[in-house]
Every structure is written in structure tokens, then in C-alpha cells.
Homo-oligomer: A and B are copies of this chain.
Amino acid sequence: DFLNALNEVKPAFGADDEELQDAFPYGIIHFSNSIKAILNDGMLAVESVRVQEKIRHTSVLLHGPSASGKTALAAHIAMKSDFPFIKLITPASMVGFRDELAKKDYLHKIFTDAYKSPLSMLIIDNLERMIEWNPVGPRLSNPMIQTLITLLQTPPPKGHRLLILATTSQRSVMEQLDITTAFDRQIPVPAVQDLRELGAILEKTGAFPTPADVNEALNAVRSYSNSDTVGVGIKTILTTAETSKLSAEPSEWFAEQIAQQITRYRS
């Protein structure tokens, strides 16, 4: 059908499926109810851009702590949307530009490209890096901030529709800079909350051979960190579990590393 035909030429317009899928190498694990809620919220935005009459564009900010899965979820929503034009804008895709002015022009160019399609989605990954924020100074790129806010608030031309998903792990910075008010909606992406959720992940991924190993790991984490709360992002959990397989005592090593992270983020 027509949409499939469009999909075949999609790489010419923007991101192909492979690029999007590379953003969630471990898939999407439903370790808590919040995952479903996030995906629902995302798909509602997708639908509202697709069908609404007078609103030609919507922008949504996914925010949450480091490694909590923001990029993965945005890419997942994009893949499920079947929009004919999808583009993933990452800091890495901009690192080769000379300076903030070149980055600004590139960002503007991508929006102009998106405006050409009847139905487009842009994922702006890692806003704090886009605006070249660093916590000392403060220093940031005002041209990028001005351009982002303006583009977030500008509807595409008549007959065109645009959804913007953005991610950040520095929501309070975005608040201070008044960037959040340029978004229509915000979706929080929480870290893994407690040992129960952690257990669900370890089980679903088969990180450890037996349920007993999983339990051992969970107990070790609890005894190291003296607590049931976790507060560490799922990306950290999954990569640590994978690396632990190389270690002599996987569940022990895993627990030690995760406990360190728990302590670190607690403070």
C-alpha cells in the first residue's frame, strides 16, 4: 500500500528503521506500569498531530535522569508512528560542525526539510548538549537556544504537520532557560525505582542463568546499599549486567557496581 511504498524510500527523507532501532539495542522491557503510560502518551501526541484540524504541530519533552531510557522510548514511538518523514537529531550528528552558527543552520535546514513532508517527526536528542550547556559559568549557546525555542513554537506551512519529540536529563536547566514553556507537553521518564523493578528487568532479560542467581544479585545489592530503592537508569542496569558476564563472580560484581551507582545518585 501507499504507506509501505513511502517507507521504502524513507531513508532518503530521514532516519531508516535500522538507525532508530540502534537506539534501543536491548529492546523495550516493560518493567513497570510507567513504561506503558509513557508509550500511550507518546502515541496520543502522534495521533493528535495526524488528525487534528487546527493544530498543525505539537512538541513533547521526554525528561528524566541519565540512562533512564529517554532516547530509546522516543525512537520506539517514532518507529511505531509510521510517519513518512522521521529524523533523529543527535549531538553526535552535529559534532563535526564548526561552531554554534553552523549547528544552528543545520538545525534550521532539518526543520525546513521536515516542512516539505505532509507528516513529519523530529527527535531532538539531548537538549542540554544541543545548547552546549556546561554547569560552570554558566556557558551555553544563546543562538542555539533562540533557534530551538523559535522552531519549537513555529507551525509548519499549511497542509503540513509536524511532531517534535525532545529528550533531556537536565530539566531544571531547561526550566531556568524558559525552554520548557516552548513545549506543549512533558513526559517524565523515571529511573528504575526499587528492587522489585530491578528483579523484573533481570528476569526478563535473562541476564543471569537461574532465578537463584537473580535473587543472589538482588540480595547483594540490598546489603551493599542498605536500601530497597534503586534510582539508577535502565541503561546502566543492562550494560552492567552484560559486562558482569565477563567477571569471575557475575552476580557479586554486578551488585557491587550497581550499589556504587545507587550511592552516587542518592547523594
Contacts and interface: CB of A to CB of B under 8 A. Distances in A.
A52 to B, nearest CB: 6
A223 interface: no
A96 interface: yes
B242 A54 contact: yes
Contacts of A32: none
B150 A132 contact: no
B136 A177 contact: yes
A148 B27 CA distance: 28
A139 B176 CA distance: 13
Nearest to A149: B129
Nearest to A109: B96
A267 to B, nearest CB: 12
Contact of A98 (B98, B101, B246): B101
A140 B142 CA distance: 8
Contacts of A178: 134-135
A72 to B, nearest CB: 13
Contact of A246 (B51, B135, B140): B51
Interface in A35-69: 44, 47-48, 51-55, 66
A256 to B, nearest CB: 12
A138 interface: yes
Contacts of A34: none
Counting chain A residues whose Cβ lies within 8 A of the other chain, the interface size class is: 35 or more
A146 B132 contact: yes
Interface string A230-267: 00000000110011001100000000000000000000
A212 interface: no
Contacts of A184: 239
Given A95-B108, A142-B132, A154-B92, A246 B176 contact: no
Contacts of A44: 246-247
A153 B236 CA distance: 13
A172 B209 CA distance: 39
Contacts of A51: 246
Nearest to A151: B95
Given A52-B242, A108-B96, A242-B52, A146 B158 contact: no
Given A52-B242, A55-B239, 14 more contacts: A25-B54, A26-B54, A53-B242, A55-B242, A55-B243, A91-B146, A91-B153, A92-B151, A95-B108, A98-B101, A99-B101, A132-B143, A135-B177, A184-B239
